[in-house]
Amino acid sequence: MSTSLFLKKIHPLSTRGLIGACMLVGAIPLTAEATKFDSTDQLTGEAHKIQQPHDEKYPTSDYLTGNWNGAREQLHDKGLDILFHYTTEPMYNVSGGEEQGGTYLHNIGLDFKFDLDKIFGGGNTTLLIKFAQRYGDSVSADYVAPSEGGNTFTVQEIFGGQTYKLANLQFNTLLMDDRLDLAYGRLIANDDFLRSDLYCQFVNNSFCGSPKPVFLQDPFTFSAYPTAQWGIRARYDTQSRDWTFQGAIYDGDPELKGGDPTSSGNNEHGWNFDFGDNGVVLAGEAHYHVNRDSDTELPGVYKIGGYYMSGDFRDISQTDNSTVSGNAMLWLLVDQMLFRKSPGSKQGLSMFGTLVFSLDDDINQMDNYFSLGLIYNGPFDARPRDAIGLAVTTGWYSDELNRARDSEGLADKSYEAAIELNYKFVLERGIAISPVLQYVIRPAGTGDIDNSLLLGAKLSIMF
């Protein structure tokens, strides 16, 4: 029996029972003996991080509004960090695709982080609350491949969920000398799985925030910013810190569609805290670290992971919105520094690579995927915080998807590829701007749409 058939025979799990039990365990008060809070959480995307203040709290080099005349530092000392950030990614389709033109869009984020240890004493727990407002249109959908509803590797990563939304409502508790990290509440799966600090050097959504194929199930289930879902995640570092293991269980119905691909859902703004009715998501990863945290050697991390979804999803081999149960994917990820200019320097060359494999080709539009990227931090001594990036990605479409397209007289999809080159200028006052060049090969995979050349930029401001 194949792995995919075996997984489909597992009866859909009870969301309320499993998530509810995990949330109850996660909510048990912890003693004051827990160790000091470390706020270096992995949050979604470069522009979405609440950074740990250094000796100088909120320096003007990193924040447009600085330290608010000392008020921000005082709030931090009392247990509250506030971050307001703005990102825009204007992009223009210069040639190829189906039409020429460009769009403006933005993401505005407001994040609050409460150190409950400082506020209440004890517990070694934080609460993260994040709000997002998104506006604008997609170049992929409007100009690159409008006849196909857009190309798959959308060229602006902040397009999606164009409204105001509550994202994370997340508790984090650290135990065992900070080696055990528990996250529980309204979580974003992509904050923890299939992620790298290198990905958001880029603007194409196939790189930032994660490999695109893992999100292509219908209904959308594996959450990415700004969509959150109920869940609990445990991450454990071995004592040597050479290995990290993490596992999570999430509500399988973040948009409250009940497994119905035709439903518009019932959670547009993230305020509906009901549990869904489409099974659960089980996710896990193992990480092997090389030269972890070293500032002289070449650090790297190698990951293997996967997820299983127990709910119902659109059968892409059919044309009538019929559904099948159970979905699974596997992935291999690597981040590795290749060259360091000098011991202790952050200037140097790093790479990332990803492989993603589908185990259910009647649900996942792409059955195989790879990406490879290179980032050189500090290419010039006069600009040590700048970075230049080059990345390429390719995804191959499922035969099951083409079976349905054949029955409708539509062209088969074979593969889509994208290449991106950019240079990030890190300016003072928390401002970064990146000119971007992208080239999309076989947009939407049919070969009927000319390859697309796009020019644009990414502007991020930390207030």
User: Has residue 19 got a pLDDT over 60?
Assistant: no
Summarize pLDDT for 43-52 with one digit per residue, the tens.
233 333 444 4
What's residue 262's pLDDT? 93
The phi-psi region of residue 344 (left if phi > 0; otherwise alpha if psi is between -120 and 50; otherwise beta) is left
| H or E stretch covering 1 | none
pLDDT in tens, 133-189: 999 999 999 999 999 999 999 999 999 999 999 999 999 999 999 999 999 999 999
Q: How far apart are CA 33 and CA 176, in angstroms?
A: 10
pLDDT at residue number 122: 76
pLDDT of residue 9: 34
Superfamily grouping for domain 3-462:
Carbohydrate-selective porin OprB (2.40.160.180)
Greater model confidence, 139 or 57: 139
Look at residue 56 in the predicted model and tell me its pLDDT. 77
The pLDDT value recorded for residue 149 is 96
Q: Tell me how far apart the alpha carbons of residues 229 and 213 are, in angstroms, rounded to a whole number.
A: 19
pLDDT at 45: 32
- Mean of per-residue pLDDT scores for the chain: 89
CA angle 81, 272, 164 (to 5 degrees): 55
Structure confidence by residue, pLDDT tens digits, 312-347 = 999 999 999 899 999 999 999 999 999 999 999 999
DSSP 190-225: GGTSS--TTGGG--STTTTTS-GGGG-SSS--S--T
SS3 label, residue 235: strand
- Percentage of the chain modeled with pLDDT above 90: 86
Calculate mean pLDDT across residues 438-450. Answer: 98
For the cut 90, the answer to whether the pLDDT of residue 268 exceeds it is yes
Please give the radius of gyration of the chain, using alpha carbons only, rounded to the nearest integer: 22
Give the separation between CA 139 and CA 146, rounded to whole angstroms. Answer: 9
Q: What is the pLDDT of residue 308?
A: 98
Q: What is the mean pLDDT of residues 195-204?
A: 97
Asked whether residue 295 carries a pLDDT value surpassing 50, the answer given is: yes
What is the model's pLDDT at position 123?
83
Provide the pLDDT for residue 8: 37
What's the whole-number mean pLDDT along residues 290-301? Answer: 95
| Dihedral angle sign, alpha carbons of residues 408, 222, 86, 459 | negative
**Percent with pLDDT over 70 in the chain:** 88
Q: Which residues pair with 307 in a beta bridge?
A: 283, 329
pLDDT at 29: 33
The predicted-structure confidence for 352-406, as pLDDT tens digits, reads as follows: 999 999 999 999 999 999 999 999 999 999 999 999 999 999 999 999 999 999 9
Q: Quick check: 36 pLDDT over 70?
A: no
* pLDDT greater than 90 at residue 2: no
Asked if pLDDT for residue 22 goes beyond 80, the answer is: no
Of 11-25, 120-134, 275-289, 444-458, the poorest mean pLDDT is in 11-25
Q: What is the pTM of this model?
A: 0.87
